Amino acid sequence: MTDRTGIFAGDCPFGIARRWLDEAGEAEINDPNAIALSTVDADGLPDARMVLLKEIEDDAFVFYTNYESAKAQEIDQAGKAAFVMHWKSLRRQIRVRGTVTREDGPQADAYFASRSLKSRLGAWASKQSRPLASRAALMAEVAKVTARHGTNPPRPSFWGGYRINPVQIEFWADGAFRLHDRFMWRRKEGGADWEITRLNP
Ligand SMILES: Cc1cc2nc3c(=O)[nH]c(=O)nc-3n(C[C@H](O)[C@H](O)[C@H](O)COP(=O)(O)O)c2cc1C
């Protein structure tokens, strides 16, 4: 086994990720749950953007977005994605690569319902990633969906979650003189078990 102690200790990578995110919540100025989500388009050209990680489950990471956005098309086509979270305050990062499925059931309904009314109406109004004539056109669309859906808009069918089931999770922490610590958790073939390897910085 490795000399995996301190912040790297634990039997479950999702537990470690939850712990690090909790610590980041105390230390970061804004959005400790921001992740840089990476996808590839049909030509294999990589793409990246920030989204907010909303749940760390027992076996997966969940975020929410518009199913007609560029990222959604890339994910639906490839079925795979990667992300990195970096906390400047902690000088740590977590990298994840995995397969992706939609979360568009009751869990997505419940999360949508938990958002502020303005955010829910905003989700209805935005044709995310498609051209927009002007800010005024967007505000007119917000007024239109507000008139249509009132104070209790349902979750749009074009908006929901994605669940990333990792095949790899890497935990990285800054070390003196660039001698950082890295631990790679890799799913063993076909199973629920992980192989853990310390990597060179
Ligand atoms: C800190 C931060 C958090 C964001 N969170 C989300 C999010 O949770 N969901 C989302 O769809 N877009 C989010 N965005 C906007 C995305 O970065 C992006 O602009 C948008 O989703 C369109 O991306 P796409 O055209 O590649 O699909 C966030 C942006 C920032 C800077």
**119 carries a ligand binding annotation:** yes
In tens, the pLDDT along 59-109 reads: 999 999 999 999 999 999 999 999 999 999 999 999 999 999 999 999 999
Of 5, 59, 56, 52, the closest CA to residue 30 belongs to: 52
pLDDT score of 61: 98
> Is residue 97, in this structure, part of any structural domain at all?
yes
Q: What does the pLDDT average to over 14-35?
A: 98
> Is residue 136, in this structure, part of any structural domain at all?
no
> Is residue 192, in this structure, part of any structural domain at all?
yes
Parent domain of 45: 6-115+159-199
> Is residue 100, in this structure, part of any structural domain at all?
yes
Is there an atom of ligand 1 within 6 Å of 71 CB?
Answer: yes
Is there an atom of ligand 1 within 6 Å of 129 CB?
Answer: yes
Annotated catalytic residue within 97, 178, 187, 198: 178
Minimum-distance ligand 1 atom for the alpha carbon of 30 = 1
Rounded alpha-carbon distances, angstroms, from residue 108 to 17, 43, 55, 87, 139 = 22, 30, 11, 27, 25
In tens, the pLDDT along 136-154 reads: 999 999 999 999 998 999 9
pTM, two decimals, is: 0.97
> Is residue 137, in this structure, part of any structural domain at all?
no
> Is residue 110, in this structure, part of any structural domain at all?
yes
Is there an atom of ligand 1 within 6 Å of 50 CB?
Answer: yes
In tens, the pLDDT along 29-67 reads: 999 999 999 999 999 999 999 999 999 999 999 999 999
φ and ψ at residue 174, rounded to 5 degrees: -60, 135
Number of folded domains that form the chain: 1
Is there an atom of ligand 1 within 6 Å of 128 CB?
Answer: yes
DSSP 8-state assignment for residue 130: S
> Is residue 63, in this structure, part of any structural domain at all?
yes
Q: What is the CATH number of the domain that holds 37?
A: 2.30.110.10
Give catalytic status of residue 178 as yes or no. Answer: yes
**135 carries a ligand binding annotation:** no
Measured CA to CA, the distance from residue 201 to residue 195 in angstroms comes to 18
pLDDT score of 189: 87
Ligand 1 centre to CA of 90 (Å) is 23
pLDDT score of 2: 64
Measured CA to CA, the distance from residue 102 to residue 162 in angstroms comes to 4
> Is residue 120, in this structure, part of any structural domain at all?
no
Question: What is the chain's mean pLDDT, rounded?
Answer: 97
**88 carries a ligand binding annotation:** no
